[in-house]
A and B are shown apart, each in its own frame.
Chain A
Amino acid sequence: MENIYLDWAATGIPEEGTPKITFANPSSVHTMGTEARQLLEKARDKFATLLKLPGRSVIFTSGGTEANNITIFSPLNTINIKNILKRRLKIITTSIEHPSVYEPINFLTRFGFEIIHIDPEPNGIINPEKIYKEIDTEVILISVMAVNNETGAIQPIAEIGEIVEDYSVKMGKKIIFHTDAVQALGKIPFEPKKLKIGAASFSAHKLGAPKGVGALYTVENTNISSLFKGGGQEFNKRPGTENLEGIVSFVTALEKRIKELDKNYTKASQLSTTLLDGLREIRGVIIVPRERLQKPTKYSPYIIDVSFPPIPSEVLVRAFAQRGLMVSAGSACSSHRREKRGRVLKAMGLSEKVINSTVRFSLGYTTTKGEIEEAIKIVKESIEKLFRYV
């Protein structure tokens, strides 16, 4: 390090082991800061290019949760509170959203918003017709996730995008169509412009990049910005010193995933078929939802839900973990709040018996055939034993 660094108030010199890029604060005016700024913008451009988006349409956040919250709470920034309370503004969303969409939307009821929750069909997929029926002049936001994190069900984003665009053009009114694309990015083909999306949330760590980093795409002329106020970073939409190491790692990983998307998708499809075939040999197994066996392409091959009633989900997870297989009991985030688990599956009409025994297998680009075969073996042997006592 030839420079003498005396700008610790802007940012500190990092510890050993942090990635080898400049550590300076991109907002610093000195040469090290400029270098950091250039790195940041280069990362932004790369990210946008990979998703075929214009450069300035992407801002970086602390993760998918923040990106979702920024979008959802944005109306409180842009619409006069008095007007919000006078009218009865509406938001259309689904009952299968991730908690980081579901919870903030529900919170908006305190400001007089009316929330319409669309339930999925029993196959876990939203019917776009049902959304169409609910649109009226009071709707300002529609939020539907791209891929459900519990079942892997791929939602009809393109159709919904069409519906929203048609309405906007017809009525001369803008409705923001937002999608939580956290489980889609880098896994299934996803091009926001093509899908006519107004805003999309992304998360880095689902791709193998670090935790604590995400991104938010917003179409031009949309006033989406964070309720947090501060130093004006990210085009004044999201204050806070940018997590440069995280962002650079995010974009590096994304580039690789996008480049190999089709190849990985094919492999994942084969692996998930193998997994499903293996699990189906177990007596008493229930694939969630059953329809995915008939229409596999409607579900992300990276996420598979199965149930083994009446063995409780947690017991299954622990039994598999004892043998070295790590899976999830429902959505990873909801293991903090027992009472709120099962909302998604309940909305699909599944019984409590099935819901309480569900585990989720989810693959990544590194998963091998050998691992899947071993996993099947572990599941078979564990279930055999557990069923003896239950």
Chain B
Amino acid sequence: MDKRVLVKYGEISLKRGNRKKFEKRLIENIRYKFPNMPLNINHTWGRIYISVPSEELNRLTEGLGEIFGIVGFTETLIADKEVKSIKEKALQLALKEIETSKQKEELTFKAEVRRLDKSFRPNSYEIACEIGDYLLDSIPQLKVNVHKPDFIINVEIRESVYLYTSVNNGLGGLPVGSSGRGILLLSGGIDSPVAGYLMAKRGLAQEAVYYHSPPYTSDMALDKVKQLSEILTRYIPRFKLNVAYFTEIQERIKERAREEDVTLMMRGAMVEIASKLAETNNALALITGESLGQVASQTAESIRFSGSRTTLPVFRPLIGYDKEEIITIARKIGTFEISTLPYDDCCTIFAPSHPTVKPDFGKAVEEYENLRLEKLIDKVLKNIEVFTPERAN
């Protein structure tokens, strides 16, 4: 266990009571992320320190970059609680920086010392000066620059002394699960995976539901959604995919609803099913990738209708996003390529040529109720197949 990583976390606004829960959840999620790695997690003074064998360091830092709640993380050295040891470790860090630096002639640095153990002597300023002098003496090409240094030697004096230079940016957000659990309506499109990711960032644990309608939709479309699940599970611990067999409902809607309302009714049924699934699965919210104005089913009137099929809150993190912005995120998280594979999830033979854009709410509700989908919906829920995506680690 010779490598140590410091993990910085937390939203600054967190109050003391929540902080403990937050930390506990974050540590749980870190453990869940690395099931086969021998890690030692030390949690003191508002920091998390993880120790791993050196061959696991890369895998650890890669994984930490996918955990919500972490603001930054960095490999750190540990010194004994005396100035000589601190100076030695600082030198080690400086040498490493020089080795990896692109410019070799002159490098500038600064030492920043934080003394949380006030019993330690000398004080921060003096320690910083000692480090500075020692490094300048030992390495001729180094110079000090307190305003814009090339690198900073950070020293934290706690129960031990921790030294590190640069900090990798974490994803930020809140640990997944600290805001409860939701059901994500996942299609194979670009938007819904991004919506899931953004809500996970606010701490919402999730499972997804996908509506599969053989023979109208293909196994390849289902496979696409499974691949998307495999990506989302990197960011969302305990993620799973519920495959709901939607064929009979699609056929009933096609038979009984007006042609132009088919898509609207289908979305209503999908929300209702997801809502009932939430109840049995201890989820308290739904998540969709809806963005206002993107397609006919995403007008305020249509959203009002489909949202009315549940009393749970429906989180629509993309409601104000442009397509370009959504695509940027999809690329960043790795779902874009898969979403753009050409397998449709909703068979075009059911899509109306002139869908209703601004449905009258009362009429839509009445039409939906006349479909009498209750028994079919129960059947769908009974026959859901759960798919647990494979985890890369």
Contact = CB atoms under 8 A, between A and B. Distances in A.
Interface of A: 310-312, 314-319, 321-322, 338, 388-390
Given A338-B342, A390-B349, A315 B254 contact: no
A315 B215 contact: yes
A319 B216 CA distance: 8
Contact of B347 (A310, A315, A317, A388): A315
B255 A319 contact: no
A388 B254 CA distance: 9
Nearest to A319: B215
Contacts, number: 31
B245 to A, nearest CB: 12
Contacts of A311: 349
B216 to A, nearest CB: 6
B320 interface: no
B214 interface: yes
A314 B216 CA distance: 8
A347 to B, nearest CB: 25
A338 B251 CA distance: 26
Contacts of A318: 214-216, 218-219
Contacts of B219: 318
B218 A312 contact: no
- A315, A317, A388, most chain B CB atoms within 10 A: A315
B349 A314 contact: no
Interface residues of B, number: 14
Contact of A389 (B218, B255, B348): B255
Contacts of A322: 214-215
Nearest to A318: B215
A175 to B, nearest CB: 41
B255 A315 contact: no
B215 A310 contact: no
A390 B215 CA distance: 13
A315 B342 contact: no
Secondary structure class of chain A's binding surface, majority of residues: helix
A389 B251 contact: yes
B341 to A, nearest CB: 12
Interface pairs A-B: 6 shortest CB-CB: A318-B215, A319-B215, A389-B254, A389-B251, A315-B215, A390-B349
A322 B219 CA distance: 12
A338 B250 CA distance: 25
A25 B349 CA distance: 55
Contacts of B215: 315-319, 321-322
A113 B170 CA distance: 59
Given A318-B214, A322-B214, 14 more contacts: A311-B349, A312-B347, A314-B218, A315-B215, A315-B347, A315-B349, A317-B215, A318-B216, A318-B218, A322-B215, A388-B251, A389-B250, A389-B350, A390-B349
A388 B215 CA distance: 14
A15 to B, nearest CB: 28
A298 B143 CA distance: 91
Interface in B244-271: 250-251, 254-255
Contacts of A338: 342
Interface in B57-89: none
Contacts of B350: 389
A280 to B, nearest CB: 23
Contacts of B347: 312, 315
Nearest to A311: B349
Contacts of B348: 312
Nearest to A321: B215
A388 B218 contact: no
13 contacts: A312-B348, A312-B349, A315-B216, A315-B347, A316-B215, A318-B218, A319-B215, A322-B214, A388-B251, A388-B255, A389-B250, A389-B254, A390-B349
A339 to B, nearest CB: 10
Contacts of B250: 389
Interface string B342-357: 1000011110000000
Nearest to B253: A389
A311 B215 CA distance: 11
Nearest to B252: A389
Interface in B201-226: 214-216, 218-219
Contacts of A312: 347-349
B126 to A, nearest CB: 71
A51 B251 CA distance: 54
A316 to B, nearest CB: 8
A353 B219 CA distance: 24
Contacts of B218: 314, 318
A126 B326 CA distance: 52
Contacts of B349: 310-312, 315, 389-390
Contacts of B342: 338
Contacts of A389: 250-251, 254-255, 349-350
A45 B348 CA distance: 54
B262 to A, nearest CB: 10
- B216, B250, B342, most chain A CB atoms within 10 A: B216
- B215, B216, B347, B350, most chain A CB atoms within 10 A: B215
Interface string B163-201: 000000000000000000000000000000000000000
Nearest to A315: B215
A317 B220 CA distance: 14
Contacts of A388: 251, 255
Nearest to B220: A314
B57 to A, nearest CB: 40
Interface in B293-329: none
Contacts of A390: 349
Interface string B232-253: 0000000000000000001100
B23 to A, nearest CB: 50
Contacts of A316: 215
A380 to B, nearest CB: 16
B60 to A, nearest CB: 40
Nearest to A382: B215
Nearest to B251: A389
A312 B351 CA distance: 13
Contacts of B254: 389
A159 B8 CA distance: 82
A387 to B, nearest CB: 11
A354 to B, nearest CB: 16
B214 to A, nearest CB: 6
B346 to A, nearest CB: 13
Contacts of A314: 218
A315 B347 CA distance: 9
B365 to A, nearest CB: 24
Nearest to A320: B215
Contacts of A319: 215
A90 B30 CA distance: 68
Nearest to A323: B215
A315 B218 CA distance: 8
Nearest to A386: B215
Contacts of B216: 315, 318
